[in-house]
Amino acid sequence: MSNMKFKAEVKELLSMVINSIYSNREIFLRELIANAADAIDKRRFMALTQPELAVDGEIRLTADPTAHTLSISDNGIGMNQDDMVQNLGTIAHSGSKEFLKKLAQAKDNPNAAPELIGQFGVGFYSAFMAASKVVVLSKKAGETQAWKWESAGVDNFTITEAEKPDYGSTVTLYLKEDFYEYEEYWQISSLVRKYSDFIAYPIKMQHTVTTGEGDKKKEEIHDDTLNSMKAIWLRSESEVSEEEYKSFYQHLSSDYDEPLKRILFNAEGASEFRALLFIAKHLPFQYQFGVRTKKNLNLYIKRVFITDECPDLLPDYMTGFLSGVVDSSDLPLNISRETLQNNPQVKRIAKAITNRVLKELAAMLEKDREKYLQFYGEFSRLIKEGTYSDWENREKLQNLLLFQSMKSEPDKLISLKEYSDAMKPTQKAIYFITGDSREAVEHSPQLELLRKQDMDVLFLLDPVDEIVIGQIGKYADKEIVSVAKGDLKMDEPIQKEMEEKTEKAAKTNKNLLEFLKKELEANVKDVRFSARLTESTCCLVSDSGDPSANMQRLMKAMKQGMPEVKRILELNPDSPLIEAMSKKFEAAPEDPLLADYAKMLYDQALLCEGSELPDPAAFAQRTAKLMTERLQG
Ligand code: ADP
């Protein structure tokens, strides 16, 4: 016999499971039945190459009201001693560390733990919710020795050699007193119908039925199958209740909530399959830590489970919101998991699924805006990732992007199509500005001309937006242009008027312009007049080919070494301040005030866009000096 300690993280998890008050105390049975069904799936898969292991899968529930036990038996793959140590002594899930971290944070919140457990599906360990002791008797398919694993779920478990005639596992729960209700046939059968009806193997249970009255009273033992066993994805939607779909989804995805959308479809033609897909409401928890799941779609071939890990079935960016089942009728049944990689047929299935999901999302955006906003609020980053990783579908993905805009209400989002449809015929380009928040960009001087022209500007407030938009480049044949960069690509008459105005200002203020360029040499690469401004005195813009200030900030934050690229200071040709400065310069070019003012223009431009000043103390000093002089007359 070996007596072993649980790994630290399992102990932590167990104490959480045992001590938390469950809002959903019945889930343990669903989890153990799911494990039993998985074990049968695995054995049936093995039997494809080792026919002697073939079996009609069956799960059997046995309750003993005298001993207060409930057993879940299966004739699946079973476990040997090593499997028991590995599977029932550690946490096998990826991202488990993050899970425990979150669990620790959630400790003070009694409602959070069950949700997290539901979300992650602590699976086997949920047995300890209901039981003070758990015994697993198991014999691995193809081996001769059976083993018994036993634990009270505190800090250790024992494994001993045991006797068991058939392959498979029996998990026996020694029920806690307040879980005695789960010895009752009616209670168990209703739970099975509720949560496990779709399980593809019969879940059987014996129970006693009393018939007749008085002398004729008879007790009969019935052996009933509690679930309908119909593969839920093969049934028509009218046959399946919402509750059943929900519980199937939860079983599949370990999500605690219901799905946002369900998609059931048949594909015919190049590849024949049936798929039941679910779009989630929440980003899976581990995604916040950059851990992605590979187990999204369960692949079946003619109803035989093949694998829950076939990364080729789904583009990476969809794994955050999609789960489901794909049942192929034309893949060969004896396919190995390895040959599924780079398999052209699998790729065809993936393509059809991707297309279908994108189509559903487009329809949702068009017909059920509220639902789509819910989706987008949670998964916009993944859609954006798609626009640069899924080249083939980039146009469809671009149409799923939403942004705030200058002319729309705060927090009302618009698509590129909506922007483009609302454009006046004279507007030549799609405009955007980047920044951290609506407040930060809304009053930007760079918007002045466009506001005056009654043109809309997209607000790109997510740091990745600029990269996404940058690689889209054009939408509906219209260039997408930053308002904070070089040329605004205005309509011919406006462009002409702008040019004339700036040329004239440049001519009149030639000397001042030269002076400012020199004074600000260290800060900007050029000083020029621009019709972009109608009210403010000045602003900073990037040269056409240069990275924007926002992009530079982003690169800096990502610690991507990049030399600082100087920008251009643009001046308003109608500004009275510039006019006055020019006059002063012509009259007294040596006046030290002018140098101070030059610096202050640059500082103003930085402040207006919400950038940090390189030397705030110097700015304050200059302002104080100016205020003093003014007061002293
Ligand atoms: P999960 O099922 O999500 O992997 P569990 O904690 O439920 O996590 O189970 C851990 C592992 O224990 C399973 O992956 C499986 O390898 C093994 N296991 C659990 N129950 C059984 C069973 N009835 N038969 C065979 N193996 C099992």
Quickly state the pLDDT bin for 185 (edges 50, 70, 90): very high
Q: Establish whether residue 597 lines the binding site of ligand 1, counting it when its CB lies within 6 angstroms of any ligand atom.
A: no
**DSSP label at 92?**
-
CATH code: domain 232-367 is: 3.30.230.80
Q: Where in the chain is the domain with CATH 3.30.230.80?
A: 232-367
Q: Is the CB of 35 under 6 A from ligand 1?
A: yes
pLDDT at 95: 41
Cβ–ligand 1 distance for 76 under 6 Å, the answer yes
The two structure tokens encoding residue 153: 């779920």
CA of 125 to the centre of ligand 1 (A): 10
DSSP summary character for residue 2:
E
Q: Which of 74, 99, 120, 124 to mutate to test the pocket of ligand 1 (most atoms within 8 A of CB)?
A: 124
Q: What is the pLDDT of residue 157?
A: 92
Among 333, 366, 329, 369, which Cα is nearest to 349's?
329
Whether residue 326 contacts residue 297, with contact meaning beta carbons closer than 8 Å, is answered with: yes
| Tens of pLDDT, residues 531-562 | 888 889 999 998 887 877 777 777 777 766 66
pLDDT digits (tens, 9 = 90+) for 14-54: 777 776 655 567 778 988 998 899 899 899 888 988 999 99
Model confidence over 403-448: pLDDT tens digits?
A: 999 999 998 999 999 999 999 988 999 999 998 889 889 989 999 9
2-223 carries CATH number 2.40.50.100: no
Confirm or reject: Cβ of 74 under 6 Å from ligand 1.
yes
Nearest CA to ligand 1 atom 23: 36
121 lines ligand 1 (CB under 6 A): yes
Give 597 or 26, the one with higher predicted confidence: 597
The string of pLDDT tens digits covering residues 152-174 is 988 889 999 999 999 999 999 99
Residue in 35, 59, 119 to alter for ligand 1 test, most ligand atoms within 8 A of Cβ:
35
d(CA 85, ligand 1 centre) in Å: 11
CB 530 within 8 A of CB 487: no
Q: Is the CB of 77 under 6 A from ligand 1?
A: yes
Verify whether ligand 1 is closer than 6 Å to residue 90 (CB atom).
no
Q: Is the CB of 87 under 6 A from ligand 1?
A: yes
| Domain 403-633 belongs in CATH node 1.20.120.790 | yes
Asked which of 21-30, 52-61, 284-293 is least confident by mean pLDDT, the reply is 21-30
Cβ within 8 Å of residue 120, ≥6 positions away: 93, 99, 254, 285
Of the chain, the percentage scoring pLDDT greater than 90 comes to 55
Asked if residue 275 lies in contact with residue 326, where contact means CB atoms within 8 angstroms, the answer is yes
Ligand 1 lined by 89 (C-beta under 6 Å): no
Q: What is the pLDDT at residue 104?
A: 65
Q: What is the pLDDT of residue 94?
A: 40
